[in-house]
Structure 1
């Protein structure tokens, strides 16, 4: 199925490139960038596909059993802008440039040194014969990395200044998943991509990994009164579990339910809150009003200013 999806994505990408993009690039003398343009189109198409999948799963759930009524559609529209820019526009371009450069540097380093870096399949040769088990291990390791990235976002003042844009949303929906500062998104893309590179995730499996994480994160932000029960809450992050993390709090009181996919990390490291039927109001009362109600550009500027303030205040101390 994964091979069929990748072939279909390649076919559609090739058709769009040949029918619309290639003639324009040829006319403008930009054919040296043809390969880059082809891959960027693929990024955008995959982003569109993930948006459609997430919408098809999450929107009916929010309509079925919402936690709270929608009172601020403007805030949701801002989150939609975040999603479109993140999945279809700015972030795919930035992520492609940075990750392509990182991959080229890594490949060059390996070629020059003659050293073959260990991967899961070289450390555990039997995984070559068990692709499904290998895929599940990739998911577990990447999710562990995402748990600690999320912890660090709350731990370091400069990083929290960026991440607080995400927590300032009072009208949380599945669109809120992408409500992040662009610099924070770049760090996240590099973090995830570097870890995937280090453990040797096959390129053909990477899109499915991204789709699984994306769907899980969007569902966990959904405005739906949904718990997975006493056992299920300990196996997978639910909307109830993650909403506790977004509950109204001061910056000094963050500390519950950081996990993206598997709550076991919160259980192991003592940050889990498994209270059932607990759906707090969301938002960060310490955040500037602009982070809650401002537009995309305003929030980006305020986030940068707050990050600079956090860095220089610490330096002065």
Structure 2
């Protein structure tokens, strides 16, 4: 099934390139850019696919049973800008491709030294014959890494200076998932892409893993009064579960509910709150007005200033 999905996507991008992009390159005498153009077209197509899938799932839910209603949605449109810039760039895929080249050279050097780096399939005998199980384990391991990346965003002062942009939103919607400082996005892309390469995720499966996690994260940020129940909320992160994380009493180091996809990590490390009747107001009371109401560029500048201040403060201390 996974191979069928991958082949179908590859066939679609090939047809699009051959019938749309390639003729334009030829007409403008830019065929030397053919290989690079195909790679970037693939990134953009995948980003558009992410946005369409997320919108089709999350927008009807927000219209059906919103937690809050607002007349002024200007700050929500700022989050839309974040989403389009982030997903049409598809940073995790770019990081995966760039790191793959580095890893190939590194693996070659290790092989010359007489050592072959292990992958998940080599560590678990028979896993290569069970692709769906391997795929599920890839997601589980990457989600574990995402849990700890998220906790570090809240505990390291310099990282919180960046991540606080995400938590400053008082009108949270499914668009808020991508409300991040660009440096924070770059770190996340390298983190996820590097971990995926480390455990041997096949290149054809990585985009599908990214899509699944993106949809789950967008849904968890949705402005919808939705809980998965006492059992379900311990299996998969719900909008209620993650909204508590964005609540005004859960910002900074006192954060709860860090899990991205599977709440089991919050259960194991005792950072979960499973009160299903709690839908708190979102935002960070300590965030400056620019991070709450400012546009994309203003928030990026102020986030950078806060990062520099946090680093200087750490050195002075």
TM-score of the aligned structures, taking structure 1 as reference length? 0.94
Identify the residue that residue 183 of structure 1 maps to in structure 2: 183
3-state SS of the aligned residue for 1:176? helix
Change over 3 Å in CA distance of 1:116–1:28 after alignment to 2? farther
Could you give the per-residue CA deviations for residues 171-194 of structure 1, whole angstroms, max 9, x where no partner exists? 000110011111111110110000
Range that drifts further, 104-113 or 246-255: 246-255
CA contact (8 A) 1:121 1:127 kept: yes
Pair 1:286–1:126, CA change in 2 (3 A):
same
Match of 2:224 in 1: 224
For 2:80, the equivalent position in structure 1 comes to 80
Q: How does 1:1-317 map to 2 (within 5 A)?
A: 1-26=1-26, 30-88=30-88, 91-92=89-90, 98-114=95-111, 115-249=115-249, 251-317=251-317
Q: How far did 1:246 drift?
A: 0.1
CA RMSD of aligned residues (A): 1.7
State the shift of 1:212 in Å. Answer: 1.0
- Look up the SS of the partner of 2:126 in the other structure: helix
Structure 2: 5+ residue stretches without partners: none
**In the TM superposition, what is the alpha-carbon distance from 1:70 to its structure 2 partner?**
2.3
CA distance in 2: counterparts of 1:7 and 1:131, whole angstroms? 15
Greater shift, 240-249 or 66-75, is seen at: 66-75
Instruction: Find the aligned partners of 1:34 and 1:296 in 2 and give their Cα distance.
Output: 32
Distance 1:138 1:245, change over 3 A: same
Question: Are the equivalent residues in 2 in contact too, given 1:72–1:171 (CA < 8 A)?
Answer: no
In 1, Cα distance between equivalents of 2:139 and 2:153 = 21
Q: Which moved more, 1:108-117 or 1:122-131?
A: 108-117
| Kept after mapping to 2: 8 A contact 1:71/1:171 | no
**TM-score scaled to structure 2, two decimals?**
0.94
Please tell me whether the aligned partners of residues 67 and 224 of structure 1 are also in contact (alpha carbons under 8 angstroms): yes
d(CA) in 1 for partners of 2:253 and 2:103?
A: 39
Shift of the 52–63 alpha-carbon distance from structure 1 to 2, 3 Å rule, reads: same
Cα distance, 1:113 vs structure 2: 2.5
Provide the rounded CA distance (Å) in 1 between the counterparts of 2:184 and 2:33.
27
Contact 2:146-2:259 within 8 A present in 1 as well:
yes
Counterparts of 2:249 and 2:215, CA distance in 1: 26
> How far is the alpha carbon of 1:117 from its aligned partner?
1.1
Structure 1 ranges of 4+ moved more than 6 A? none
CA contact (8 A) 1:75 1:171 kept: yes
